[in-house]
Chain A
Amino acid sequence: MKALFQMYLQQFKTTFASMFQYRASLLIWMIGQVLEPLVFLVVWSTVSNGNGGSVGDYTTGAFVSYFLVLMLVNQFTYTWLMWDYEWRIREGILSFALLKPVHPIHSFIADNLMSKAIQLPVLTVIAVALAFTFHAVLSVSLWVVLAFIPVLILAFLVRFLLEWTLAQAAFWTTRVSSLNQLYFLLLLLFSGQIAPLSLLPHSIQIAAKILPLYWTVGFPTELLLGKITPSAALFGIGVQAVWLIITFFLAGAVFKLGTKAYSAVGQ
């Protein structure tokens, strides 16, 4: 247990140092992170204003809130595991992580948390500034805030384990960039980053509810916006829990298979 704690501490320091070193790339990355939801925010606001102030059950002000909250939820749940993992395998340094007494997933978790600890505050400030600029409208009731916390944490865990599982594909192929791109495009659509789920075609809505992607980003966002009833929220938490169990076992199984294949090649 102590070894684990020390490893987390060590990883926190490493991540912090490298973030400071590559602060220009960090800045550029954050500009990209802000711009994507901002663009859709502007587009949907335009559509809404031209449509008499609302589209579906979203007013212009609600659209603004939706995309800003989405940006922050995305920031809270995202990982870069799929690139990181492939890079480490390619550079031959994954072997080191596999030899340690602690499961390698921990260094990835620590790296992820530390990066977000730095990025999230900055993005929150930007989100608040944008909320004022674009006249966001948001009213949050107490039960929503209370429900939001477990929902967000579950969302983070499910997404982490899911992307961890997908990252293991790097054990079998070097062509992960196409896979990654496909995943992120699907994420864009099904998680509600192009438009709130209720505005998507019916068939896509159903697919989104079956896949885990919506439950990691779209669901927490809609919850905070007050678009989810208490019973639906409870149901949603249940779905998240189910996905957590599924991804947990998937991740473990694929990892075992992957490391076996990896060592068989004699890296």
Chain B
Amino acid sequence: MNYLRLIGVFFRVNIAGELAYRINFLFSFFESVMGLGFTLAGMAIIFSYTDSLNGWRPEEILALVGVYSLIGGVIRVAILPGMQQLTESVRDGTFDFTLTKPEDAQLIATFSRVAVWKIIDIFLGLVILIIALARMGSVIGGVQAVEFLGMLLTGSVIVYSFFLILATLAFWLVRVENILTIFLSVYHAGRWPLSLYPGWLRYGLIFVIPVAFATTIPVEALTSRLNWVTLLAAFIAAAVLFIVSRAFWKFGLRHYSGASA
């Protein structure tokens, strides 16, 4: 479909643009490795005093760190840049150009910016994940693998929809003042299992700023902690949130174009 062609060319153009600054890749790589290194160091310190954290074994926490890096990479590569570009273009008026293009404005806005070098985070996350899986041994069955991939997908959709809703606020507020960074500030909490946190914080991480869907829930699927009720609920939540965010987006477009309510 043309949608895929379009996404492809956005990636291609962004990569081509970045290729001239290959040194950025080195710095990105350096920063990602550093960040991950310190996260693992923190983990090591904690596990020198205990064998399990609320029932989670070290290799399971490692898997969590892997997913945290993986989804974090997806956000930094494909979600955050586009949404940030969107809010800026609404503020300086260049969003009008997006609207005069003969393709879906949401699609263009989402993929117009891609931070290619952050793919390193995805790669490192996968490496950590594979190491963690190896350590966990043959506990992973086919069902869990499918559930895991399914939850990764729903997590990504939920996070994307959340970002879209925040970015759509730009149509009313215009000066959104870096509102998008709120997810990444809270995202740190995703490095540790949700069950560690008190009820109110858990509630916030599921329903207010959906960090849990990006990290804990996929790994819970992987480590057989997820019952099918939660699984189903996550799928439904993703579908609903996607539809709601698109509806809100369309509503925002109408407001931007001066439609009389």
Q: A and B: partners?
A: yes
A residues with CB within 8 A of B: 22, 24-25, 28-29, 31-32, 35-36, 38-39, 42-44, 46-47, 50-51, 55-56, 133-134, 175, 177-178, 181-182, 185, 188-189, 194-195, 199-201
Residue B52 is within 8 A (CB to CB) of chain A in the complex: yes
Main secondary structure of the interface of A (DSSP, over half): helix
User: Please, what's the 1-or-0 string for B2-40, where 1 marks a CB less than 8 Å from any CB in chain A?
Assistant: 000000000000000000000000010011001100100
Most chain B CB atoms below 10 A, which of A38, A43, A189, A194? A43
CB contacts (< 8 Å) of B178 on chain A: these are 24-25, 28
Interchain CA distance A22-B54 in the complex, whole Å: 40
Pick the residue among B34, B50, B197 that contacts A47 (CB under 8 A): B50
Q: With A35-B189, A177-B31 given, name 11 new contacts (CB 8 A).
A: A24-B179, A25-B178, A28-B178, A28-B179, A38-B189, A39-B189, A39-B192, A42-B197, A43-B53, A51-B49, A178-B27
CB contacts (< 8 Å) of B48 on chain A: these are 201
Whole-angstrom distance between the Cβ of B253 and the nearest chain A Cβ: 23
Q: Check if B196 sits within 8 Å of A185, measured CB to CB.
A: no
CB contacts (< 8 Å) of B181 on chain A: these are 25, 28, 32
Q: Check if B31 sits within 8 Å of A178, measured CB to CB.
A: yes
Chain B residues within 8 Å of chain A by Cβ, number: 32
Pick 10 A–B contacts, CB within 8 A, sort by A.
A28-B178, A28-B185, A29-B185, A32-B186, A36-B188, A44-B46, A46-B54, A175-B27, A178-B31, A201-B48
Q: Check if B34 sits within 8 Å of A31, measured CB to CB.
A: no
B residues with CB within 8 A of A: 27, 30-31, 34-35, 38, 41-42, 45-46, 48-50, 52-54, 176-179, 181-182, 185-186, 188-189, 191-192, 196-198, 201
Whole-angstrom distance between the Cβ of B80 and the nearest chain A Cβ: 14
CB contacts (< 8 Å) of B197 on chain A: these are 42
Interchain CA distance A200-B201 in the complex, whole Å: 28
CB contacts (< 8 Å) of A182 on chain B: these are 34
Whole-angstrom distance between the Cβ of A217 and the nearest chain B Cβ: 16
Whole-angstrom distance between the Cβ of A157 and the nearest chain B Cβ: 27
User: Which 6 residue pairs spanning A and B have beta carbons closest together?
Assistant: A32-B185, A25-B177, A24-B177, A185-B38, A28-B182, A194-B42
Q: Check if A199 sits within 8 Å of B35, measured CB to CB.
A: no
Whole-angstrom distance between the Cβ of B7 and the nearest chain A Cβ: 28
